Structure 1
Amino acid sequence: MMLLSSREGSLLPIGAGNHVRKVLFLIGITLLTVMSTDALAHAVAQGDKGYIQEITGTNIIAFVYLGAKHMVTGYDHILFLLGVIFFLYKLRHVALYVSLFALGHSTTMLLGVYFNIGINSYIIDAIIGLSVVYKAMDNLGAFQRWFGFQPNTKLATLLFGLCHGFGLSSKIIEYDISPDGLVPNLFAFNIGVEIGQILALCVMLIVMGFWRRHRHFYRHAYTANVVMISFGFMLIGYQLTGYVVTQ
């Protein structure tokens, strides 16, 4: 398979090759993973949910831990972040895009909870699934190849970061946490989210560093982004089905 990079941070497939078996295998593993969990993408574990509802006052350490735990176990966040850095080779580019995502995520999470702005969790999680689809398609150069234009990747990263933040704020609102110590607890939770994001990012960058040295990296990269697109559509379908069923 022959691949060309059309611009910084994207991959333009010239010949897709035959990787059907590998794609189907990875999609199957993904399906089993999704089906084996009781939680939605932005759901908080039952034990954590009860703890959030019961405690009052300022609890900085606890909320930092909960924020970090949410990020490192939030597969939708991780997938989108992976898509963002997939073809970023310079640390300054990684820092820029991750900062834009963090800015969007933090803004809507904090403001959404503080001003009680809730969005149906099924709808917002479907949009988050769309963010994964968008980023993987962007990595494959699909917009240039199919539609003849290239979306503003920085703006898209910021906008989808805003959506990811609303996903979390909607869940926190549902859990009706105590107003006593709300502001410091929210900031502590957000700090935890950023710590978790940095930890996840470090792991991804180390893995990507070794992976990029492999002589078949671009072939694998094409397959990986196809799997991400499939997973994103699965998440969209799952959330929209949940929305219809619960209406």
Structure 2
Amino acid sequence: MKSVIHPSPMRRVTPILTGLVLAALASPLMAHGVNENDKAFIEGASGVNIIPYMYLGAKHMVTGYDHLLFLAGVIFFLYRLKDVAAYVTLFALGHSTTLLLGVMLDIRANPFLIDAIIGLSVVYKAIDNLDGFRTWFGFAPNPKAAVLIFGFFHGFGLATKLQELTLARDGMFANLVSFNVGVEMGQFMALTVILLLMNLWRLGDSFRRSAILANAALMTAGFVLIGYQLTGYFSKGV
């Protein structure tokens, strides 16, 4: 008796990844962009604004497709919540550290190059998920160290964008901390949705087979981000 073949869960995942790739192609070279309304608020605000900055932080995370692609890759083969928590904590630590220090100490770098490295983080995670490093080079980078290091770049990417705005010194530290709290709230919401979809997908028999295609799509998205940012660097950023 033939088994019934159900539609592959990959059909649900592919449109999501495709949409994120198209978003990268359609955006104005602003993986960490701040829209005009948010710019106007940030540049016009003074003093401590805890709730608005928490909202902006959460909004940045749930609309930041580069963050979501990387985090989706990080948790792709993590099945225990404590492992998910460990990796996400490392990413949050890196992200928060460079965001705070980058803005408070006015540490500057070319935003296109930083965002290209963020794209590289997506490529790295896809290759790691496919065990490409061991296959091609005979070794694999420490995954926790890699997540922490790339977390530094993800945070620094936003710092470079905030440095382009006129931030009031009054209340800056409290506002940045509030922003980071919002980022963590947005990250929690986004990860909850991603984990629910991922767990549903893992119930299917085709998960292992379609996982290769999903990570190939993830790698493609990373290369799109890298190419887009380097194009911006050579055309505008030098």
The TM-score with structure 2 as length reference comes to: 0.90
Secondary structure of the residue aligned to 1:215 is coil
CA distance in structure 2 between the aligned counterparts of 1:47 and 1:26, rounded to whole angstroms: 27
Question: Structure 1 residue 140 and structure 2 residue 130: aligned?
Answer: yes
Q: Which has the higher contact order (CA 8 A, sep 6+)?
A: 2
1:153–1:185 CA distance, 2 compared to 1 (3 A): same
1:25–1:74 CA distance, 2 compared to 1 (3 A): closer
The structural deviation recorded for 1:219 is 1.6
1:67–1:39 CA distance, 2 compared to 1 (3 A): farther
Question: Structure 1 residue 46 and structure 2 residue 36: aligned?
Answer: yes
1:26–1:61 CA distance, 2 compared to 1 (3 A): closer
Which of 78, 84, 88 matches 1:98?
A: 88
Which of 142, 157, 163 matches 1:152?
A: 142
CA distance in structure 2 between the aligned counterparts of 1:78 and 1:119, rounded to whole angstroms: 23
CA distance in structure 2 between the aligned counterparts of 1:29 and 1:137, rounded to whole angstroms: 21
Question: Structure 1 residue 211 and structure 2 residue 201: aligned?
Answer: yes
Q: Any conservation in 2 of the 1:39–1:45 contact (CA below 8 Å)?
A: no
C-alpha root-mean-square deviation of aligned residues, in Å? 1.8
Question: Structure 1 residue 238 and structure 2 residue 228: aligned?
Answer: yes
CA distance in structure 1 between the aligned counterparts of 2:215 and 2:197, rounded to whole angstroms: 16
Q: After TM superposition, which residue ranges in structure 1, 4 or more long, deviate above 4 angstroms?
A: 23-31
CA distance in structure 1 between the aligned counterparts of 2:197 and 2:25, rounded to whole angstroms: 26
The residue that corresponds to 2:156 in the other structure is: 166
Which of 88, 99, 115 matches 2:105?
A: 115
Q: Any conservation in 2 of the 1:88–1:94 contact (CA below 8 Å)?
A: yes
Q: Any conservation in 2 of the 1:26–1:227 contact (CA below 8 Å)?
A: no
1:32–1:108 CA distance, 2 compared to 1 (3 A): closer
CA distance in structure 1 between the aligned counterparts of 2:105 and 2:143, rounded to whole angstroms: 29
Residue by residue, what CA displacement relative to the aligned partner does 1:123-154 show, whole Å, maximum 9, x if unpaired?
00000000000001000000011110011001
Q: Any conservation in 1 of the 2:93–2:148 contact (CA below 8 Å)?
A: yes
The residue that corresponds to 1:180 in the other structure is: 170
Secondary structure of the residue aligned to 2:77 is coil
Letter in 1 for 2:180: N
The residue that corresponds to 1:195 in the other structure is: 185
CA distance in structure 1 between the aligned counterparts of 2:184 and 2:229, rounded to whole angstroms: 26
Residue by residue, what CA displacement relative to the aligned partner does 1:19-69 show, whole Å, maximum 9, x if unpaired?
xxxx99888655533333346110111110111011111100000000000
CA distance in structure 2 between the aligned counterparts of 1:163 and 1:28, rounded to whole angstroms: 24
CA distance in structure 2 between the aligned counterparts of 1:61 and 1:54, rounded to whole angstroms: 16
CA distance in structure 1 between the aligned counterparts of 2:190 and 2:17, rounded to whole angstroms: 22
CA distance in structure 2 between the aligned counterparts of 1:96 and 1:27, rounded to whole angstroms: 25
Secondary structure of the residue aligned to 1:174 is coil
The residue that corresponds to 1:14 in the other structure is: none
Residue by residue, what CA displacement relative to the aligned partner does 1:96-137 show, whole Å, maximum 9, x if unpaired?
100000000000001111101121110000000000000010
Q: Any conservation in 1 of the 2:72–2:194 contact (CA below 8 Å)?
A: yes
Q: Any conservation in 1 of the 2:24–2:31 contact (CA below 8 Å)?
A: no
Secondary structure of the residue aligned to 2:163 is helix
